[in-house]
Amino acid sequence: MTTAIRHDWTIPEIETLLSAPLLDLVWQAQIVHRQHQDDSVQLASLLSIKTGGCPEDCAYCPQSAHYAKETGVVKENLMPVEDVLAKARMAREAGASRFCMGAAWREVKDGKEFDNVVEMVRGVRKLGMEACVTLGMLEKHQAEKLAEAGLTAYNHNLDTGPEFYNEIISTRDYDDRLKTLAHVREAGITVCCGGIIGMGENIHDRASMLQILASMNPHPESVPINALVAVKGTPLADRPKVDPLDLVRMVAVARILMPHARVRLSAGRAELSREAQTLCLLAGANSIFYGEKLLTTSNNDAAEDRAMIEALGLKIANREEKAAAA
């Protein structure tokens, strides 16, 4: 019997899953994964198209202008369209089928820079790749313009549960994030939305974030699961490293709650052994960020990633994701 798709998960139910014996949890997630997913892993390449100088005060982010003196991250201008498309071609040649572009903005502002991002989206789509952007908060007409350009997905993470959110960010409300996600969905763009663990949150906060994601109808097509990369100069610089098994738990529960989503093993993967990554893939992760850098932090070696996928007998996805597939 195929697992039913639910949108009514409760926080206590999710806390119970997060606290379950690990092998039982992974087994349950693997059953769901085999019912709803194939044996492919999508390679997604991520490029910072505009680095530094963000007015937000996200405690984990080295791109925040609030911490620039301590982190040393310098504010840069938006990259030229052709330079971005050259990076996209390189990513495609290396095997990536999804190209993600991130700009350190609090919100999208109409004008030349936004128009250039729209051109980047058009260019990536002409290369036969999925195009994803993360640009901060977005208005309805801007989402529609990105949709017209062919944008595949918009990334806008919840980061954490609403109860813990104000401990991490004070410059943007939780409802602001949900409003942007609503504009994305209304425009017909697929939703890429997940969060970060290891910021000092508790199991309730993790369950609360997952419950909000799992309550969306339809579920997000893409769910990035990030482990905090504690960057020197940020308020969370002294946070201890995330236990890899906690990341496995988050991946497994995300897979159980959202069977059709691409669960993306994202930031923090560079800290994981090959065996820990394998456990995450067994638990239901089926996408990794691929390439030398994740915005401003280092990432795993691309050749090692491909070798790991081959050793596990998995396939590299090369087909475009469709919203209708979910």
In one-letter notation, the amino acid at residue 43 is: L
Q: Which of 58, 92, 98, 206 is catalytic?
A: 58
> Which of 132, 185, 193, 249 is an active site residue?
132
Separation in Å, CA 169 to CA 25, 128, 173, 325: 31, 36, 8, 34
Helix (H, G, I), strand (E, B) or coil at 271: helix
Q: How many CB atoms lie within 10 A of CB 276?
A: 17
Please answer whether residues 285 and 253 qualify as being in contact, where contact means their C-beta atoms are separated by less than 8 angstroms: no
Annotated catalytic residue within 92, 125, 172, 192: 192
48 and 297 in contact (C-beta within 8 Å)? no
Active site residue 280: no
Query: Is 193 known to be catalytic?
Result: no
Question: 92, 100, 172, 249: which one is catalytic?
Answer: 100
Q: Is 132 a catalytic residue?
A: yes
Which candidate, 113, 114, 109, 94, places its Cα nearest to that of 45? Answer: 94
Q: Is the dihedral of CA 76, 78, 83, 85 positive or negative?
A: positive
Give DSSP secondary structure letters for 42-68.
Answer: EEEEEEEEE-S-B----TT-TTBGGGH
Catalytic residue among 177, 264, 269, 280: 264
Q: Is 61 a catalytic residue?
A: yes
Catalytic residue status for 185: no
Residues with Cβ within 8 Å of 7's Cβ and at least 6 positions away in sequence, in order, are 214, 215, 216, 217, 219
Which of 54, 177, 206, 255 is the catalytic position? 54
Q: Among residues 61, 92, 125, 193, which one is catalytic?
A: 61
Nearest 5°: phi and psi at 198? 100, 15
Active site amino acids: 54, 58, 61, 100, 132, 192, 264
